[in-house]
Amino acid sequence: MTPALKWLPLAALVALAGCARDDGYYHDRNIDYADARQAPPLVLPEGRDRERFRDAMPVPEAAGSFRPGDDGFEAPAPQALGAGRVERDFVERRAVGDDAWLVVAAAPDSVWPQLEGFARSRGLGVEASDSARGVIETRQARLSVRQGLRSGDSEVRCDQAGRPLGPCLDALEEYFAARSASASSAASLRAQGLAGEERLRLVERGDEWVVEVPLDIERTWAELEYQLRQDFTLEGSRELLESTPADYSHRIRYLPLSERREGFWKGLVSSPSPREIRLVLESEGPERTLLRAESASEEGFSAEDRRELLERVASLLR
């Protein structure tokens, strides 16, 4: 027995032995993906009862694209269901500077009827309503809904002369919270065009991995700030150290997957140390933001480590 293995308890050795095939080799399941074939999706009839038909066994999306590696084919790991997405309320507040809005955990075509119901129930005096744009003009304020950054989310605003109305947002937040997700099943056909088709993507530009976000930098900052404060709270693994809105950056401490994989063996001698990294947002236009990860210390931060970190951060925004 090797010196490293002699320190393992018997149960661990039995578990490791159970992973091997009968011929003594470990089965690399990556090759199974190469032979996979895509089947056409199941199409349900229009007008179906949305409450009766849902995903019985949802399959998580893969956080990244299929790519060849130096050692052969490598399949992307799917985002674990329930992991990378913190427990959340049906309606939440977001703010950047003087701007503020609500994020509702429902698609815009489901939120639109509720927004109309809010205007009617409060007697706001609707002067114009445009479901294609998601805008309701009233004598007191302008109500609007549009696609949020994450899939299935909506952003709801209440503005007057371009400035958010705090009391109106408070009333909207209370209104949506009282209805919760149970009210989101009634969707508006007129408002279906409000849902955006484009989603954020993890891509390779030259020798650098980046995340392309189809949203302006202010809204991207607000969502990233919120999600990092909720998820990057594990000391020694992932921590949010500092937020700098002036240059749209966050300083974090993160233990890459490459270190976690070797951590069990390294732990016999020393503990792996997390890296200090800056997450930086850059504007590429009115509806386009770039997310980069840069090393903030002298410790190594490989391209693969950068890609793995950005996959995790992107999963918080999907």
What pLDDT score was predicted for residue 10? 45
User: How many domains is the chain partitioned into structurally?
Assistant: 2
Distance CA 120, CA 205 (A): 49
The mean pLDDT of 2-17, rounded to a whole number, is 45
The H-assigned helical ranges of 133-216 are 166-179
Q: Is residue 169 part of a domain?
A: yes
Q: Is residue 285 part of a domain?
A: yes
Backbone φ, ψ for residue 13 (5° rounding): -65, -40
- Name the domain boundary from 194, 221, 237: 194
Q: Return the ∠ at Cα 60 (arms to 111 and 207), rounded to 5°.
A: 105
Q: Is residue 3 part of a domain?
A: no
- Name the domain boundary from 139, 171, 194: 194
What pLDDT score was predicted for residue 143? 93
pTM of the model: 0.59
Cβ within 8 Å of residue 122, ≥6 positions away: 171
Indicate if 175 and 114 belong to the same structural domain: yes
Dump pLDDT digits (tens) for 222-246: 999 988 998 998 888 899 999 999 9
Indicate if 130 and 214 belong to the same structural domain: no
- Other beta carbons within 10 Å of 56: 5
Indicate if 264 and 306 belong to the same structural domain: yes
Distance CA 69, CA 77 (A): 14
Q: Is residue 162 part of a domain?
A: yes
Of all residues in the chain, the percent with pLDDT exceeding 70 is 66
Identify each DSSP E strand in 131-173 by its residue range. 135-138, 142-147, 154-160, 163-164
Q: Is the pLDDT of residue 85 over 60?
A: no
Indicate if 103 and 205 belong to the same structural domain: no
- Name the domain boundary from 194, 221, 248: 194
Distance CA 213, CA 136 (A): 27
Q: Is residue 13 part of a domain?
A: no
What pLDDT score was predicted for residue 5? 44
Dump pLDDT digits (tens) for 104-163: 988 888 888 899 989 888 888 889 999 888 999 999 899 999 888 887 888 999 999 889
Structural domain containing residue 112 = 97-194
